[in-house]
Amino acid sequence: MSGSALQKPGQDKEFVNRLVVLVVIFYIALFALLYMASYIQILKNPEFVTKTKNNRERTVRVAPIRGKIFSADGKVLADNKTIFSVYVNPYSLSRDFQLRQESLVYLAQVLDYNYSDIEKILANKAKLRTDIMIADNIPFEAFMKIRENLERMPGISVRERNIRYYPNHSSLSHVLGYVGPINAEEYSLKKQNGYEPNDILGKMGLENYYEEELRGREGKKVYVVDARMVIQDELKSKEVEPQAGNELILSVDMKLQKTAEDILCDRTGTILVLRPINGEILAMTSYPGYDPNIYILDTEENMVARRAVELDVGGTPLYNRNIQTLYPAASLFKIVTSTAIINENIVPLDKTFYCGGVYRLNRQLFGCWNRGGHGNLDLKGAIVNSCDVYFYNVAKSNIDIEKIHEYATMYGFGKPTGIDLPFEKSGLIPNRQWKKEQKESWHTGDTLNSIIGQGDVKITPLQLAVMLSAICNKGVAYKPHFLKELRSSETGEIVRQHKLEKAVDMDNIPVWVFDILEDQLRAVVSSERGTARWSFFGNNNIYVGKTGTAEVGVGVKKNTHSLFGGYGPLDFPLEDRVVVMILIENDNNNRLKYAANLANLMFWCYAKDKTYLEAAKRFNYPVQSSYR
């Protein structure tokens, strides 16, 4: 044997075992690697292909197109128009400083901007990491110039979008309302309906009330983009066109609406024309108003105009005074009291009470509007002369406030009429329970004030119009409304028509009660002593109506509002008669603010199909640029 060391048998066996383990581990790892590769290539391949495809495709949401609004005579009241906007994405601009600057300088020249102003806008909003609007509502010529050069200006884009437009500006502003960006509270309520944080929706008026019908359905555009998010192609096959919302066809007659606005002029108040046979609103105006277009674009001019509207706390131009402002009902409320007197036979219709100009209740004096007194009057005489003292005498011993509350409620007072406008107020008809809730006691003086429409009685002009409709229809009044029908923007087919709903149903009161009321109200505008006789002098049609003077404030701040409500012409068929309700704030016995005079003009224009200027000439009414 040589002198070298010999390998022991145990050592050979250990070496072999280690080699076997190493080979097994190698094959296990190889198998796992092959398995994962197969899993990825075969089983997961569709998923990764989809992800890769999605990374190459970008879907852009296209906002819904809002449905248009039309008047009954086919005039467009709310429309859409296309505007053009310019956007810059700071992270997609050229990395070459010179090319970047050339692009922005060219943009500034086309838009007539300062280059430094664009740089400031980008610097201030760079953290948004998104497209930044540089200019909105740019001229079409500028849009085309920028669009033609987009290939050499990476990071700059132009877009078309639809915005709301009101072609008649302030006309019908309180009825139409306006649209605006959705706020956080609205979004939380509507996101489940598909709304997005940048959507618009109706804020006021019909735009708000019929939001669901007007909104339409969103569409989408699909683009192919590269790694830098630069658009390479548009996939027309995957494009979904946005669907326009339904069109609203209203009951408004724009010629009559314009006449009402001309008659009201800049007198603070309301004029309302309603068709009693079905509750259709033919005209509704409220002054002061506003131009809803100022809420569409965030221009400096619009921001100034919005601020002026918000600061006008005295005029409250955003309020629709027909439904959102509460007034004393004044002497028109005597119609409610008269209904109770006639129907309940509380006192004989020919029973007279003496009016000496004042009524004494213990140590408290309640005056009549005519301080000289009216002498002896029965119920018809009291309505014709609008005598307060007659009703004080009836109330003192013969009628309770709960009875007045009952009849007022039957006429629809104290609750919304249900008109298709948002934010309608209910008003208030006081009684003992209400007074108790105020932690006060009811007194006889409260009753005397309430039965002539003063004190705590609060109504809207629309509620008075509904009351007059009920008398015209002999006990029934229909829910006032603007919508005649909904029409598909796509096909022009009628989607829905308005269905009549009763707002007042006094079937428990005989027709002859309303006949007597109509005869009394006819005398208001026709008899020699009628409070509206001289206002309707020379009008050869037959009308009924009631005047009212609402007292507001106390002492040196005391003012009066002038009211008139009526319907006719009675020599027209029932389906052609209208209710006219007018309220002028702070008339303070100014003849040019007397509601009955204005009602005569309104009725005559309707009956003769004439304009305000023709009516003013006919009745020798002074035409001024302002009646403040």
Q: Which two tokens stand for residue 180?
A: 């605006």
State yes or no: pLDDT of 555 exceeds 60: yes
Please say whether the beta carbons of 200 and 328 come within 8 A.
Answer: no
Rounded CA-CA distance 472/575 in Å is 11
- Residue 32: what pLDDT? 76
User: Phi/psi at 297 (nearest 5 deg)?
Assistant: -110, 145
Rounded CA-CA distance 346/392 in Å is 13
- 192 secondary structure, DSSP code: G
Beta-bridge partner residues of 157: 87
Closest among 258, 75, 294 to 165, alpha carbons compared: 294
pLDDT band at 337, cuts 50/70/90? very high
Rounded CA-CA distance 434/409 in Å is 14
Rounded CA-CA distance 528/525 in Å is 9
Rounded CA-CA distance 126/488 in Å is 43
- Residue 128: what pLDDT? 64
DSSP character string of 223-251: EEE-TT--EEEE-GGG-BPPBBPPEEEES
Q: Among 139-153, 203-217, 299-313, 571-585, name the one with the lowest average pLDDT.
A: 139-153
Closest among 527, 536, 592 to 569, alpha carbons compared: 536
Residue range 274-304, pLDDT digits in tens: 999 999 999 999 999 999 999 999 888 999 9
- Residue 8: what pLDDT? 55
pLDDT band at 414, cuts 50/70/90? very high
User: Phi/psi at 428 (nearest 5 deg)?
Assistant: -150, 130
Residue range 364-382, pLDDT digits in tens: 999 999 999 999 999 999 9
Q: Which helix (H) or strand (E) holds 43?
A: none
State yes or no: pLDDT of 266 exceeds 70: yes
- Residue 100: what pLDDT? 87
Residue bearing the bigger pLDDT, 267 or 4: 267
Q: Which amino acid is at 575?
A: E
Pairing label, strands 358-361, 476-478: unpaired
Residues counted in the chain? 628
User: Phi/psi at 504 (nearest 5 deg)?
Assistant: -135, 135
Q: What is each CA distance from 438 to 431, 435, 455, 570, in whole angstroms? A: 11, 5, 14, 44
- Residue 1: what pLDDT? 47
Residue range 482-508, pLDDT digits in tens: 999 999 998 999 999 999 999 999 999
Average pLDDT taken over every residue of the chain: 90
Please say whether the beta carbons of 223 and 433 come within 8 A.
Answer: no
Locus of tokens 């004393």: 328
Average pLDDT over residues 63-77: 94
- Give Cα 462 to chain centroid, integer Å: 16
- Helix boundaries (H) for 153-203: 173-176, 184-190
Listed in order, strand segments (DSSP E) in 333-427 are 353-355, 358-361, 364-367, 375-377
- Residue 13: what pLDDT? 67
Rounded CA-CA distance 353/396 in Å is 12
Residue bearing the bigger pLDDT, 199 or 358: 358
Residue range 5-22, pLDDT digits in tens: 555 556 666 767 777 777
Average pLDDT over residues 129-140: 83
| Helices and strands (H and E) in the chain: how many | 21, 23
Angle, helix 511-526 to helix 461-472, in steps of 10 degrees: 110
Average pLDDT over residues 243-253: 95
Residue range 474-484, pLDDT digits in tens: 999 999 999 99
Residue range 79-108, pLDDT digits in tens: 999 899 898 888 888 888 888 888 899 999
Rounded CA-CA distance 98/102 in Å is 6
Residues 6+ apart with CB under 8 A from 514: 470, 471, 474, 475
pLDDT band at 121, cuts 50/70/90? confident
pTM of the full predicted structure? 0.85
Rounded CA-CA distance 307/457 in Å is 34
Q: What is each CA distance from 227 to 55, 58, 130, 364, 521, in whole angstroms? A: 9, 12, 16, 88, 80
State yes or no: pLDDT of 215 exceeds 90: yes
State yes or no: pLDDT of 52 exceeds 60: no
Please say whether the beta carbons of 595 and 582 come within 8 A.
Answer: yes
- Residue 4: what pLDDT? 47
Q: Among 444-453, 528-537, 547-556, name the one with the lowest average pLDDT.
A: 547-556
State yes or no: pLDDT of 440 exceeds 60: yes
State yes or no: pLDDT of 241 exceeds 70: yes
- Residue 489: what pLDDT? 93
Rounded CA-CA distance 464/425 in Å is 13
Closest among 482, 582, 497 to 78, alpha carbons compared: 482
pLDDT band at 624, cuts 50/70/90? confident
Helix (H, G, I), strand (E, B) or coil at 284: strand
